[in-house]
């Protein structure tokens, strides 16, 4: 998925808006920061985040707790669906776990907008290991609730 999203071809103003929103969101999101997630790339309807699996993120099987993987995917979804600077929340989401992650693994969540019309959107996030092994598929459905995240005078 990494090379499929046309972030590089996004209009400069849309890319700048997405980056401004991502910077604001990261600064104001203690959960994303607290779990050690980093934002690698953002663009209109797109986000890629990374997180290292720490010992306190393991379950009783010594694999990454599904809630941690879900949280990473959900954060990528949040950055992608808010990238146009219109306050947007999750309406629903689901996840399918396909491979385990273990302590020390680098997880990468890549989220892409699949559909957006009016106030509703659908976003797919794939969580992989650094070597490309798929760990989970996450689908989020969003709802725009009004307002801006970053004061610009207009939503992008």
Residue 114, C-beta contacts closer than 8 angstroms, at least 6 positions apart: 122, 123, 124
What are the pLDDT digits (tens) for 25-76?
A: 999 999 999 999 999 999 999 999 999 999 999 999 999 999 999 999 999 9
Q: Which two tokens stand for residue 48?
A: 């890629």
Matching residue, tokens 């890629």: 48
Structure confidence at residue 11 as a pLDDT band (50, 70, 90)? confident
Beta strands at 120-129 and 134-144: parallel, antiparallel or unpaired: antiparallel
Domain ranges for the chain: 10-144
Rounded distance, CA 123 to CA 15, Å? Answer: 18
Q: Per residue in 72-116, pLDDT tens?
A: 999 999 999 999 999 999 999 999 999 999 999 999 999 999 999
pTM comes to 0.90
Report which DSSP code applies to 45. T
Nearest-angstrom CA–CA distance, 140 and 127: 13
Token pair 């996840």 in the structure block, residue: 95
What fold is seen in the domain 10-144? Thiol Ester Dehydrase; Chain A (3.10.129)
């Amino acid at each position: 998925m990494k090379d499929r999203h046309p972030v590089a071809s996004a209009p400069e103003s849309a890319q700048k808006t997405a980056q401004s929103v991502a910077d604001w969101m990261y600064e104001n999101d203690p959960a994303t920061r607290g779990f050690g997630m980093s934002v690698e790339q953002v663009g209109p309807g797109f986000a890629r985040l990374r997180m290292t699996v720490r010992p306190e993120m393991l379950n009783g099987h010594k694999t990454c707790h599904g809630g941690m993987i879900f949280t990473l995917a959900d954060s990528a979804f949040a950055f992608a669906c808010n990238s146009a600077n219109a306050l947007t929340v999750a309406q629903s989401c689901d996840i399918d776990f396909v491979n385990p992650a273990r302590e020390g693994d680098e997880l990468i969540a890549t989220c892409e907008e699949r559909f957006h019309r009016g106030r509703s959107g659908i976003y797919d996030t794939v969580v992989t290991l650094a070597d490309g092994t798929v760990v989970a598929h996450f689908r989020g459905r969003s709802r725009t609730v009004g307002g801006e995240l970053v004061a610009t005078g207009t939503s992008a």
